[in-house]
Structure 1
Amino acid sequence: MAFAPPQRLVRALGETAPDGDDWLEKLPEAAQQAVALRELTVERVQVPGGRSSLVVLVRRPDGSPAVLKLAPPRARPESERNALAHWGGTGAVQLLDEPTVEGVLLLERLHPDVSVRSLPEAKALLEAAGTLRRLWVEPPGDHPFETVAERTGRQAEAMRGASADAAVLVSGALEARAELLVAPPEQRLLHGTFRQSKVLAGERAPWLAVGPDPVVGECAFDLARLVRDRVEDLIASPSGAATARRRVKRLAESLDVDPERLRGWALFRAVESGVRALRVGRAKDAELLLEFAGWL
């Protein structure tokens, strides 16, 4: 079977590819080797798929369904492996036993076309938040994960070169980050890129998280990305700003998070994403994100 990467993946990786990167070119061969090594039967490549990895629906030699995932080093697949192993299937997709090959994961098969985002908004937020709570555990001792301070430090450096149009928001976001890092209330293993589309229907549990980019830090950082889910609907609504602020309060209360800390991280993460979208030419996405950030 030919393993042509979906166009969504090609576009997304093209935005961040360092000079000389040839991961996409080598992907078909790497996928063939991964399938042969595990004696898998391929059903299909998941389309449109994600923005950072190739996802292939497969069956193991015993006929059981699974998912083969291949990701480039910049997507930190080994960090994902470590986090999934630590969670052990609690709240997240199960990592299956396999020959360990860097950048290749064999995972429990969920229902790839059924995410929490398919539910009505209020129910989706409730189910997503409940899933996220299960992931917030103590990190392993001497853990290998990036911290919130480290990740946002890199992001903050990139934000400082933003266009003049975003300068006020960038300044506010950087100030919020500096204040939030002074005395974080807890240190937990976080999903890192959590949103409604990252929660899929499963068999052994109704909903399980997928695709973590794990980081260690305070829970409000993890919840902040969920605050802006369905941002396009919020922006289109006459009451979008008020709805966004109510969402911050409601999510903070439901997960025992300080609402001001959640608001601060939601601001930083929205501005960071908006500035990054501007940098790679996604003007429409940037406009939505920065308008949302202005409401906070």
Structure 2
Amino acid sequence: MSDVRGADDGRAPRYDLVPALFAHQVAGFEPQGWMSGQDWLDDLPALLAGLLDEWELEPIGQSLHGVCSVVIPVRLLGAGRETVGVSGEGVLKVTWPHPEAAPEPLALQSWNGHGSVRLVRADPSRFAMLLERLHARDLTRLPIDEACGVIGDLLTTLRRPAHPRIPRLTAYAERQAVELRAAPPVLPRRYLDQAAALASELVSRAPAEERLLHTDLHYANVLGAYRSPWLAIDPKPMAGDVAFEMAPALWNRADELGTGSQVRWSLRRRLEIICERAGIDEGRARAWTIVREADNAVEVAGSEGVPLDADARDRISLAVTIIKAMND
């Protein structure tokens, strides 16, 4: 574990920079083009110390974390203070190296704070970013219709040309067209075949213009800010059809969908609000959602023959529910 103590008199609070739960989660990650989770964790204390020193940052609170990233609240002591506002505060985000995270700085740079968290500086080789500090509040406690409206508005703000190095949605769809047909029957076969066929069709009938996509814009990935009511965080960027953006708002907050026939109504209501606010074609949004949910189910199921735990069974059941609602 890495820690830091305030430099004034030794009585300042001690901050653990690598949370124990985060380390436990990441330790088992297999390499995805870079290093394993454990090898990265072994280097992480020195990596964080080096970044704090080079970028003239002072930790000012306990580290937070997601699945793959550690986030440290910091005070900027040198360059960049004018970017983050009068507080001089930001967050240092360092991510376990994997392909999905690699294009995040490019997307944030393209948005330049318009609808998204502002990027102050980045070191892509170390998967490190210095970002403006946002509020802790997100959309999870807003009424669902209001939250969907915010997401629709943000998708409109975030819509701009993609950097040439952002991965293309067409490549993802072409993979799914092959992989879903060959996947074990974790879903009814007709849904896997339908999703594979839709992936091919959506590529062949692509929209006229590709746009920079967030691809993971859900209720916990939108935070309140000092300079704007709401800003997007944690993109998983791709370039392509804006209708691909819909699915995360459907599979998150699933406990609020209701029961019986109300579930379909709730899912379609979310889709309608976001599509209307963002100017997205509902038919394409439904089709991409079927592809993404089939992909999610196959990924959750893991290797064929390995027993599913309760969480995996619940997630696959949700995928079936969403696919049915998109077909009705």
Where do residues 240-259 of structure 1 align in structure 2 (5 Å cutoff)? Answer: 240-259=263-282
Change over 3 Å in CA distance of 1:158–1:32 after alignment to 2? farther
Report SS of the residue matched to 1:44.
Answer: coil
- Equivalence for 1:7: 21
Looking at CA atoms only, which structure, 1 or 2, has the larger radius of gyration? 2
TM-score after normalising by structure 2: 0.80
Instruction: Determine which of 277, 299, 321 is the counterpart of 1:291.
Output: 321
- Structure 1 residues 82 and 70: CA distance shift in structure 2, 3 A: same
Tell me the equivalent position of 1:50. Answer: 66
The 5 Å alignment of 1:57-206 reads 57-61=73-77, 64-97=88-121, 101-111=125-135, 113-140=136-163, 143-155=164-176, 157-166=178-187, 167-185=189-207, 186-206=209-229
Task: Give the Cα separation in 1 of the matches to 2:26 and 2:176.
Answer: 18
2:212 partner SS = strand
Q: Percent identity?
A: 27
Listed as ranges, the gaps of 5+ residues in structure 2 are 4-15, 79-86
The 2-side partners of 1:233 and 1:249 are apart by: 17
SS in structure 1 opposite 2:119?
coil
Alpha-carbon distance in structure 1 between the residues aligned to 2:66 and 2:143 = 23
Written as runs of structure 1 = structure 2, the 5 A alignment for 1:274-285 is 274-279=297-302, 282-283=311-312, 284-285=314-315
Deviates more, 1:259-268 or 1:4-13: 4-13
Higher mean Cα deviation, 173-182 or 286-295? 286-295
Gap runs ≥5 in structure 1: none
Instruction: Provide closer, same or farther for how the CA distance between residues 197 and 259 of structure 1 changes in structure 2, counting only shifts above 3 A.
Output: same
Q: Secondary structure of the residue that 1:136 maps to in structure 2?
A: coil
SS in structure 2 at match of 1:164? coil
Seen in structure 2, the aligned counterparts of structure 1 residues 57 and 155 have a Cα distance that, compared at 3 Å, is farther
Paired residue type of 2:174: G
TM-score (ref. length: structure 1): 0.88
Q: Residue 183 of structure 2 contacts residue 298 of structure 2 at CA under 8 Å; is this kept in 1?
A: yes
